[in-house]
Amino acid sequence: MTKADDINKWLMSQGRVLGDMTLIVEGYIALLIEAGVPLSRANIAQRFANPLLIGWGVVWTPSDTSSYEVTHVTLDTSSYVGGPFHYVLTNHKPLHKNLLNLEEDNDHPVYAEFAAKGGTDFFATFLTYGDGSEHGCTYVTDAHDGFKEEELSLIQETRTGLSSALEPIAVRKSMASLLQTYLGVGPAKEVDGGTIKRGEQRKLEAVVMFTDLRGFTQKTETWEEKKLLEALNDYFEVVVQAVENHGGDVLKFMGDGILSIFPFESSDHSTERCREAIEAARDAITALVKLNQVRTQAGENELAMGIGLNRGTVTYGNIGSPGRLDFTVLGPAVNLASRVQDLCKTVGDPVLSTESVANANMEYFASRGHHEVRGLEEPVEVFALKL
């Protein structure tokens, strides 16, 4: 057997079942070095099927192995355009570049970065997966004479094994990333873990946060579509970042409404989760104030929102038809959070809470009295968050 056969065999057997891209890359590089390839750096990248992220990968050096993620914005920057990944994925062929005697005006800056770190030679190629997608790989050496042809041939001949080892991981990671993007962190873990049957559900305790953009109906009738979508995205970003920064899950966008939860497993944990939900609401309002300053300077209308907080038992799971499911939370606790949010319009405060949440930090709240709530016989006391 050739050296390439040995490496491919390891990748397709032992490497494939490691289930971790970092371990596979480290094992693969170790085998290349053992076979005589003088590597000083390797970057094995993967492409995502995701509206937020375009790629991820692992960078190996003799002293460290690290992972990274790439957003779609990167594809429009000078660090990618005209660079080695851009070249191999556009032209579908490898790239071999000597790093000595570079021309500053003609060569991409990334080559100068590798040369400044002692690199003498550079090679870029790609992996091809079963769906036809291509994924870039780059290799650098600091050997005085650069890469030899037989060393580059070995890298090329082991692409099949590396693809076989990495493709299952790429598929799983892409699926998990899509689930998290569209469902949120908590529901994504549930669905990925097998909670997928229609009607499958469980009870859990949670702080429910319901957020609503004020005047949305009027805005849809009077604002041009581009400005409306930009405003919605800015508003969503403000709320989602605040919720996620404090450990909550954003479960659903409902028009201009946002449903979020802060689950907890014990009464000891409930006070902490209430405080995190309170801080998330406070941060969202603070961020909206800053956003409005930017909008005002740009000549755009300010945005306003209402937030309702409540704590209680919710039903968590899948509902829907045999061919279409929705992972969500239901129950009186959710309904009350929504109704409390509605009261923000008449009470005049941007954040209102029931006593079940306000009790966690009552010094942050002021009572706004008892109010009739649709669906409940008895009035509910609501508390305004002091901002």
Note the pLDDT of residue 345: 92
Chain centroid to CA 74: how far?
A: 15
What dotted CATH number matches 193-385?
3.30.70.1230
pLDDT tens per residue across span 4-58 = 999 999 999 999 999 899 999 999 999 999 999 999 999 999 987 766 677 889 9
Domain coordinates of the chain in residue numbers?
3-180, 193-385
CA distance linking residue 339 with residue 199, whole number of Å: 26
SS3 call for 306: strand
97-125 as b/e: b if 16+ CB within 10 A: bebeebeeeeebebbeebbeeebbbbbbb
Per CATH, the homologous superfamily of domain 3-180 is GAF domain (3.30.450.40)
* 55 closest CA partner among 109, 127, 7, 140: 127
> Would you call 171 exposed, middle or buried from its count of C-beta atoms within 10 A (0-12, 13-18, 19+)?
middle
Note the pLDDT of residue 97: 95
CA distance linking residue 248 with residue 301, whole number of Å: 29
SS3 call for 303: coil
Q: Are strands 41-47 and 134-141 parallel, antiparallel or unpaired?
A: antiparallel
C-alpha distances in Å from residue 44, one per residue of 4, 157, 170: 18, 16, 12
pLDDT tens per residue across span 243-268 = 999 999 898 888 889 999 999 887 77
**DSSP assignment of 238-288, as one string?**
HHHHHHHHTT-EEEEEETTEEEEEEEESSHHHHHHHHHHHHHHHHHHHHHH
Cα dihedral angle (175, 176, 182, 187), rounded to 10 degrees?
Answer: 130
pTM above 0.75, yes or no: no
Higher pLDDT, 377 or 187: 377
CA distance linking residue 169 with residue 375, whole number of Å: 48
